[in-house]
Amino acid sequence: MKKLLLVSAVLVVLGLSAVVVAGFFLGPIVTKAVNTVGPRITGTKVELASASISPLTGGGTLKGLLVGNPAGWTSDKAIIIGEARASIQPASLLGSHILINEVFVDGPEFVFEQRLLGGNNIAALLKQIEANTGGGSAAPEAKAGEAKAGEPLKFAIKSFRIQNAKMALSIAGQSLTVPLPPLTITDLGVAEGGITADQVVGQVLKRVLAQLGVAATEAAMKVGGAFLDGGAEGAKSAREAAKGAFNKLLGK
């Protein structure tokens, strides 16, 4: 009996060791996957510095994520994320889709460029993602992230939170750093039984774009408020017009 218990204990230790070793190697695998598949989805430079995954707890951390701007914009960067954390239900890795309890992005920076004749870099990035992924459906570009059965890898996210975000904005010859309010999106892909990575990115970016548009409009009014006809009433009209333009852009 003692020998049997000893053998069992050894097997348990070996099993746990295997899980720890697997977790050690999962980080580089995730990093390589993001750096390979990311540019295919966005059509821009995507660089992830590192990732750490814990199979035991289902926790993961991504550090140093940079998403580049589409061609033709001043800055080479559109989004910079220092750190993002996620909590995954480990059992879901064996199911039809990966169930993520929470994604928490702390302190991201969005570089926002608005052209005088209309259009901005974040909207251009979103349009490029939709074009590369067939408008949000699974596309050949996303095949590198497909599951073994040939179906695209899908995710359901209960909570996606962005906090302490800021926007770098250049307007009227001035460079401004504008803080953004917290953003929480719940039940991403839950009702659908999972959505693809590009669909997750598209839905999140649409919400972020709406925030950036309102924040940019308010910043513009502060910089050039003295030139708005009608004083406060004119400023109010300008703000409502800007909101309407962004809602139209988002298809609302």
Amino acid 80: pLDDT: 93
Tell whether the model's pLDDT for residue 225 goes beyond 70. no
**Predicted confidence band of residue 94 (pLDDT cuts 50, 70, 90):** confident
Q: How many CB atoms lie within 10 A of CB 164?
A: 13
Residue-range domain boundaries for the chain: 2-202
Q: What's the pLDDT at 10?
A: 34
Rounded to an integer, what distance in angstroms lies between the CA atom of residue 120 and that of residue 228? Answer: 22
Measured CA to CA, the distance from residue 158 to residue 189 in angstroms comes to: 8
DSSP calls for 129-185:
HHHHTTTTS--GGGGGGB-TTSSBPEEEEEEEEEES-EEEEEETTEEEEEE---EEE
What are the tens digits of pLDDT across the range 123-138? Answer: 898 899 888 877 644 4
Query: How many Cβ atoms sit within 10 Å of the Cβ of residue 19?
Result: 13
Residue range 100-106: mean pLDDT, rounded: 91
Here the tokens at position 50 are: 């590192």
Element (H, E) at 71: none
Assess whether pLDDT exceeds 90 at residue 158. yes
CB atoms within 10 A of CB 67: 24
Q: And the tokens for 18?
A: 């295997």
**Nearest to 41, CA basis, from 153, 183, 150:** 153
